[in-house]
Amino acid sequence: MLTGFGCVFQSDARVLILGSMPGQASLDHTQYYAHPRNSFWYIMEQLFDAGWNRPYQQRLSTLLQHRIALWDVVHQCIRKGSLDAAIDNKSIVANDFQSLFNQCTDLHHVFFNGQKAARLFAELIEPTLQASPSRATLSYMTLPSTSPAHATMSREQKLNEWSCIADCLSRDL
């Protein structure tokens, strides 16, 4: 059974970026998006000055300063390899989003890092969440996966799609 990471957040978060489950390179390094060909930190560098050229904790701190939280839908699962398609759906234990949403009442936007994260959230999380005024204002958007396995788009094309996060944060000021 693989176990993911805790949520990186502060209670004033306005944006939540959700993956499905950390890949093997991330689990080995105990860092989100640790595979060197994953585009996540390249995109965060371009948008928020939080890229590979900085120590991992500094990258996370920079995201927090921009009021961005980072997590995954899956807390635990069985998976051979790193691909989302290899996750044994019957083995999934989801993260506790109700607690997160209760703590982050300023959260307005949830961005999914790929289709699998969006699908798992819709199937496993959405039906369990309690209604609340803050949840009623949440917007959801699925972005192209930053995984190197999603090779149909270049890093620049992915960056173009992901730039909507910076746009949302600037509009929310």
Choose among 136, 150, 143: nearest CA to 118: 143
How high is the pLDDT of residue 135? 62
pTM greater than 0.85: yes
CA distance 37 to 163: 19
Give yes or no for residue 85 having a pLDDT over 90: no
Please give the helix or strand (H or E) that residue 6 lies within, else none: none
Structural domains of the chain sorted by starting position, each given as residue range(s) with its CATH number in brackets:
2-171 (3.40.470.10)
Angle formed by the axes of helices 40-48 and 56-65, to 10°?
50
- Which residue in 38, 53, 95, 113 is the catalytic one? 38
Please say if 89 is a catalytic residue.
no
Give yes or no for residue 81 having a pLDDT over 90: no
CA distance 131 to 111: 20
- For tokens 């300063």, name the residue: 65
Query: What confidence category does residue 132 fall into, taking pLDDT thresholds of 50, 70 and 90?
Result: low
Sequence-ordered list of residues with C-beta below 8 angstroms from that of 32, at least 6 positions apart, any chain? 5, 8, 19, 22, 26, 40, 60, 70
Q: Could you report the per-residue pLDDT of 98-128, keeping only the tens digit for each?
A: 999 999 999 999 999 999 999 999 999 988 8
CA distance 94 to 72: 9
Q: Could you report the per-residue pLDDT of 16-58, keeping only the tens digit for each?
A: 999 999 999 999 999 999 999 999 999 999 999 999 999 999 9
How high is the pLDDT of residue 83? 83
